[in-house]
Amino acid sequence: MSNNRLIVIGGSAGSLHVMFDLLSGLRPGFPDAVLIVLHRNTQSDTGLEELMSAKTGLPCKEVEEKEPVLPGIIYLCPPDYHVLIEKQHTFSLDYSERVNFSRPSIDVTFKSAALAYGESLTAVLLSGANADGAGGLEFVKQQGGLTVVQDPSTAEVSFMPEYAIARGKIDLVLRAEDMPAVIFGPRPV
C-alpha cells in the first residue's frame, strides 16, 4: 500500500475542458495518482487518454480490473462501468445499475475511494447537469478527505456544483483557475 494521495476528479457536462486545464500543469514526477470520473459517451472519445497524456506528459490510461493504483499516473474510468477502489489500493470494475443516471457514477467512486484512502483522498467535483457526486463528497468529508467543488459561476453547467454546495460539507469552493495549486499542491492543514 502506498503513502501517496489519491486525487479523484469527477465531472459531467461542461467539465472536459476544465479537466484538461487542471491536468495541464502536471509533469512527470508528480507523486500522486489521479483518477478521472467522467460521464462520457462510449463512442465519441476514444482518444481521451492520449489527449490527457499529451497535455501533461504523465501516462494516462483507462482503469483495468485489479490493477494497482500507482503514483504519477492519470487513470480514466472506462465508459459504462463503475470504478471502485479496494482497501489494498487496487481498482475494481462494476457493471451494476446506474447511480444518478450514470455509469460510471462519481458517488460510487468517491465513496469507495474514501474508504480506501481516508485523509489521503482529495475529491473534486466539476461542472455537470445532475446530482452525481454530492453524496460522495459528504462521505469523503466524513472519512477525513478534502472536498473541493468548482465555483458554480465558473462552471459551464452549474447544477452539479450548486447541488453539492447546497448539501454542505464542502471544504473549498474554487474558481477553476484556482484549483490546480490547491488540489495538486501540498495538502492544506
Mind telling me the catalytic residues? 12, 39, 132
C-alpha cell at 129: 447537469
Length of the chain: 189
What is d(CA 51, CA 47) in angstroms, rounded to the nearest whole number? 6
Q: Where do we find the cell 483518477?
A: 35
User: Dihedrals φ, ψ of 104, to 5°?
Assistant: -80, 150
For the chain, what is the total number of helices (H) and then of strands (E)?
6, 9
Q: How many CB atoms lie within 10 A of CB 43?
A: 7
Give backbone dihedrals phi and psi of 142, rounded to 5 degrees, phi first.
-60, -30
